[in-house]
Amino acid sequence: MKWLITGASGLLGSALCAELNNKHSVAIGLINHHKIKIDKALIKKCDITDKNAISHVLESAAPTIIIHCAALTNIDQCETNLNLATELHVTAPTLMAKWAYNNSCKMVYISTDHLWDGTQKYVPETLQPVPLNNYAETKSNGEQQVLAANPKALIARTNFYGKGLEWRPSFSDWIISSLQKREDLNGYTDIHFTPLHRKQLINLLLDLISLDARGIYNVVSSERISKYDFIKKVATKFGLPEEKVKGIKSCETKSQTPRPKDMSLSSQKISTFLGRKMPSIDEGIDDLYTEMNG
């Protein structure tokens, strides 16, 4: 099997390339701005907003599986650069989905938990998105266009964390680094999510792909947690000063862009499909601890 991973210099894409190589698969990672070396992976520079460039890569690489991880994840930048967000979240993956459908290739689109207005918890796959910003709008449009172009595609709605990269520290990096420096850290008590450690996400994605899952799946933890409580759990696990974590309401800080307060997703569909319960928050933080101290 030959895997094509976009966003190979990102938090998920880089880990996917490394994991696939460990499993003796052939991984081709596409990068644009940031150079990265991954043992045994073939890394290619490609601007996926260039239709000719991506078409050339698809024809020359002839992958059997495409996983589209590339995204503009800075919410505020999506507001100021809608064209780029649209290219990365809609145009490029739709082109890849069409190619995949015509060439017996599996298409996987990594989506988000950010698609609703935050008024409902444990959102199921069937609830129609209610996007609050351009990031959510373009991701939702991307899901629709990919499935329209390729009904066999897999859409994975998720939220993940793990050890970041030199050019992009992760959410968990920020928590650990700040507390190690004994800095005060604000955690929102009214913003909730269902995050996975990226190792868990990758294992679940590979299981879904092996079973030829199609359509939309929430690939998330089994538990809903506030940002504040998540930070406290990380602090406890790493033996960092919990007293430096302060609980605040989201209204106490100004944001340029509207964001949902509740991003928790239901894991019922994927649990039923795979026949097992999704990982807990504590299990994910255990994996983070192993990753950071391995």
Closest to 260 measured CA to CA, from 173, 186, 194: 194
The reported pLDDT for the residue numbered 40 is 67
Tell me, what's the pLDDT at 24? 60
**Residues 140, 284: contact at Cβ < 8 Å?**
no
Q: Specify the pLDDT at position 256.
A: 82
CB atoms under 10 Å from CB of 282, counted, come to 13
Q: What is the pLDDT along the chain (294 residues), one digit of tens a residue?
A: 899 999 999 999 999 998 887 776 778 888 988 777 777 678 889 999 999 999 999 999 999 999 999 999 999 999 999 999 999 999 999 999 999 999 999 999 999 999 999 999 999 999 999 999 999 999 999 999 999 999 999 999 999 999 998 878 899 999 999 999 999 999 999 999 999 999 999 999 999 999 999 999 999 999 999 999 999 999 999 999 999 999 999 988 887 899 999 999 999 999 999 999 999 999 999 999 999 997
Domain segments of the chain as ranges: 2-160+195-218, 169-193+224-264+275-293
Q: If DSSP states are collapsed to H, E and C, what string results for the chain? A: CEEEEECCCCHHHHHHHHHHHHCCCEEEEEECCCCCCCCCCEEEECCCCCHHHHHHHHHHHCCCEEEECCCCCCHHHHHHCHHHHHHHHHHHHHHHHHHHHHCCCEEEEECCCCCCCCCCCCECCCCCCCCCCHHHHHHHHHHHHHHHHCCCCEEEECCEECCCECCECCHHHHHHHHHHCCCCEEEECCCEECCEEHHHHHHHHHHHHHCCCCEEEECCCCCCEEHHHHHHHHHHHHCCCHHHEEEECHHHCCCCCCCCCECCECCHHHHHHHCCCCCCHHHHHHHHHHHHHC
Its sign, for the CA torsion 256, 32, 53, 56, is: negative
Q: Within the chain, what is the greatest distance between any pair of CA atoms?
A: 56
CATH topology for 2-160+195-218 is Rossmann fold (3.40.50)
CATH code for the structural domain at 169-193+224-264+275-293: 3.90.25.10
CA angle 7, 38, 19 (to 5 degrees): 80
Cα 246 to Cα 75, 103, 187, 241: the distances in Å are: 24, 52, 6, 11
pLDDT in tens, 171-224: 999 999 999 999 999 999 999 999 999 999 999 999 999 999 999 999 999 999
Apex 248 CA angle, 134 and 170, nearest 5: 55
**Cα 126 from Cα 146, distance rounded (Å):** 17
Residue 214, class by beta-carbon neighbours within 10 Å (0-12 exposed, 13-18 middle, 19+ buried)? middle
